[in-house]
Chain A
């Protein structure tokens, strides 16, 4: 692209549209900006796409939704040149195109934010954003000042408060996600594809992003937006396309002409049943995990909380409130520097996940499944059984793979993990299914206390309901669950009590009566 970069510094605070030259969104010869027709793509054991199609007009925000494993990301990877389809065609403004490599797709003005984090470690935020088009200065050397100046502009646009010179390794999950969004937007494509961009953003960050996206749309950019959060789809998008098992479920529909149930029906293939969680018959038991005035090495201050057997305590807060850090300190990854931790009434010093698991039967489902939750190159079965290898081994230390599979299978079924086989490497599973695997491994471990960090990020609506039921069932069976979630409806639905955290401190406690309006207001009161 040879036009002048849109330097977003030029933008004023009111957020008026920039005057920069984005590629014209006019449709040549009356054809849509993008058409994908009859796309087929198979992987060993799965037909990921089976004749999927999609059209996108300039100045349109199109929602692409579907259950985990429906083929959304695959369709996007075909569009962005990462995968080659076995059949089907892609047309841009009516002209057939082929993208043998991602670079070719970029040349046609397609910018992409992938679902899985894809930043280059050790590089700075600015370098990561500008990677595809590092500005050159004198002697052809990379002009770092300009990199960081321009990157700053994109970061400001999304209101991201991180230094452009900071290393991406020091960023939180949400910040990394924002950096990737900035990277996609900075390419100024005429087609912008965002695969679950909001999965770990706060409501406020999401709103800012939507503002930016609407502005881009008004400038004629065609946007494909993938999300499992249907509220967002309804708030942002103009039209919607639903995929089910690699095929289109229904035609493209204007968002005004369909409701939530209609979308879910298309996704699932049958009318949704609103599942009310059943009454829990078992009352709560004695305390199993108590923190008394705990300080942590990662900035938690004077934290006291009690979790009882058969109880779900919700830990709400904005991303960055220090909830994950607290969980990591409890589990022994970070350090507890002051105060006391009691497990089942006894004083406990937990120095490693190993002792948390083996000695105190506490498990932690990490929010960072790619780097910490799962071992991507190992098969599904090992990822689930990793916490129980020792239990599976016989007297001479031998782990029978038959026993292993027999032990893992029920969890795979219970969570409806979609995979060609138990030997499939986790890396090839769809994002949502990976999330389920990272939960399955702790269920298999058979712990008494489970700390679950953002369990339903990137999970489709039906599975989310399933997971909620499952969490409910676990508590009914006597586990104590500390649920960290930034999804307020989720917390209000599940938690018995809600603790609100802010900047490393617990700001308040709410006895939850599952009345969303009232409770959410109380929660917000503690946050601001």
Chain B
């Protein structure tokens, strides 16, 4: 067993304390924050945020960056919508006699559980494109995913003509509205499953460890017999599959697949994906990730956003405050790292 040292405990506990205090603050000041409905909706919101954060966390583990998380999320959600939407644009789901929705698209009408798997694979395929281009071109993920971000969402807009899949199957819509204990959405359990999986994947499996090793020191990883190129590609596949998962989760939440998922409609995912990871203690330099930290980071961001909404703070304020929370968190973290370093080195002054 790798025993957690006091730094990691402080790390996680410290963030948990911040999350709890933000809950306490909102519980007191924001009316309705603790209502059953709000807990349910925050749970859904936060779960999606955390999965988006984890999509970024894994690429940060190899010292790379994925700017296309939002684009992939949107594209995968639309792909999923296309698979499951009925072939005929009937009037199902619309008030009878209402005119046919001109902004809706027909789909293939595939079973949604099966489509879910296909869509994740499709996400992984998009990640393969990212990873393959990075490995082939030798460019940093920043440049490559900056490009694919535009290509992915742009081509999706062209194909769908920015229309949506609105007539999603009842089963799927029901899934989005489902409540356990009258409180928790199944999305929360999906998120927890992903967290647990990634935590152990990175800690105790060969590919997970090889990812971190490649991120910590690429040359040494190569010289230790690790196929770093393959690791880069598979990490991007994992990242895109997670982004896609978040996209489908968001579709379940809002009950339709709209083109702006991940890039506009549900708020841009880019900032929160980095914010959750960085607040959680994942290093931008690679080699060290904190999956549980990202979970708390996402929890904090989601809570703050929801609390501010309840307080009727206007949307652009929320965005600004999210940015501030990120800055504050990384500055505090920097201070902590320096303090720890200093106490280790004994540089007491």
Contacts and interface: CB of A to CB of B under 8 A. Distances in A.
Interface string A43-82: 1100000000000000000000000000000000000001
Contacts of A278: none
Contacts of A389: 206, 209-210
A7 interface: no
Contacts of A377: 216-217, 287-288
Contacts of B288: 377
B2 interface: yes
B345 A387 contact: no
B224 A386 contact: yes
Given A84-B348, A382-B213, A401-B2, A364 B204 contact: no
A378 B225 CA distance: 16
Given A83-B346, A85-B346, A373-B220, A393 B225 contact: no
Interface residues of A, number: 43
Interface in B192-220: 200, 204-207, 209-210, 212-213, 216-217, 219-220
Contacts of B346: 41-42, 83-86
A393 B344 contact: no
A376 interface: yes
A327 to B, nearest CB: 11
Contacts of B209: 382, 386, 389, 399
Contacts of B210: 389
B161 to A, nearest CB: 44
B5 to A, nearest CB: 8
A371 B216 CA distance: 11
Contacts of A82: 345
B347 A353 contact: no
Nearest to B348: A84
Contacts of B213: 375, 378, 382, 386
B222 A333 contact: yes
A371 B220 contact: yes
A403 to B, nearest CB: 11
A148 B349 CA distance: 37
B216 A375 contact: yes
Chain B contact patch, size range: 20 to 34
A107 B200 CA distance: 50
Interface string B154-183: 000000000000000000000000000000
B221 interface: yes
A423 B3 contact: yes
Contact of B223 (A353, A376, A382): A353
A493 interface: no
A100 B349 contact: yes
A358 B210 CA distance: 15
A387 B2 contact: no
Interface string B221-261: 11111110000000000000000000000000000000000
A352 B222 CA distance: 8
Nearest to B3: A423
A356 B204 contact: no
Contacts of B226: 353-354, 386
A86 B212 CA distance: 35
A43 to B, nearest CB: 7
B106 to A, nearest CB: 41
A401 B225 contact: no
Contact of A356 (B221, B225, B348, B349): B225
A366 B221 CA distance: 12
Given A401-B1, A423-B3, A100 B347 contact: yes
Contacts of A423: 2-3
B217 A375 contact: yes
Contacts of A382: 209, 213
A221 B34 CA distance: 73
Given A374-B220, A386-B224, A399 B206 contact: yes
Nearest to A43: B344
Interface in B332-349: 344-349
Contacts of A400: 204
Interface in A74-104: 82-86, 100
Contacts of A457: none
A94 B339 CA distance: 33
A432 to B, nearest CB: 19
A139 interface: no
A510 B167 CA distance: 82
A227 to B, nearest CB: 25
A358 B225 CA distance: 8
Contacts of A364: 223
Nearest to A373: B220
B2 to A, nearest CB: 6
A399 B216 CA distance: 20
Contacts of B347: 83-84, 100
A441 B2 contact: no
A353 B287 contact: no
Most buried by A among B206, B216, B222: B206
Contacts of A376: 216-217
B348 A399 contact: no
A398 to B, nearest CB: 6
Interface string A417-452: 000000100000000000000000100010000000
A168 interface: no
A528 interface: no
Contact of B204 (A353, A371, A401): A401
A402 B3 CA distance: 12
A397 interface: yes
B90 to A, nearest CB: 45
A149 interface: no
Interface in A394-416: 397-402
A393 B205 contact: yes
A424 to B, nearest CB: 11
B206 A372 contact: no
A484 to B, nearest CB: 15
A357 interface: yes
A377 B209 CA distance: 13
A280 interface: no
A43 B346 CA distance: 9
A260 interface: no
Contact of B220 (A41, A356, A372, A401): A372
A393 B193 CA distance: 22
Nearest to A44: B344
A399 B225 CA distance: 18
B220 A398 contact: no
A390 interface: yes
A372 B205 contact: no
Contacts of A353: 222-226
Interface in B47-83: none
Contacts of A401: 1-2, 204
Contacts of B349: 84, 100
Given A377-B216, A377-B288, A401-B2, A441 B224 contact: yes
B206 A390 contact: yes
A356 B223 CA distance: 10
27 contacts: A84-B349, A86-B346, A333-B222, A353-B223, A353-B224, A353-B226, A354-B226, A357-B225, A358-B225, A371-B220, A372-B219, A375-B213, A375-B216, A377-B216, A377-B217, A379-B2, A382-B209, A386-B213, A389-B206, A389-B210, A397-B205, A398-B205, A399-B204, A399-B209, A401-B204, A402-B1, A445-B225
Given A373-B220, A397-B207, 11 more contacts: A44-B344, A82-B345, A84-B348, A100-B347, A333-B222, A353-B225, A354-B225, A354-B227, A366-B223, A387-B225, A423-B2
> Can you list the 7 inter-chain pairs with the closest CB atoms, starting with the nearest?
A357-B225, A389-B206, A354-B225, A353-B225, A375-B217, A84-B346, A372-B223
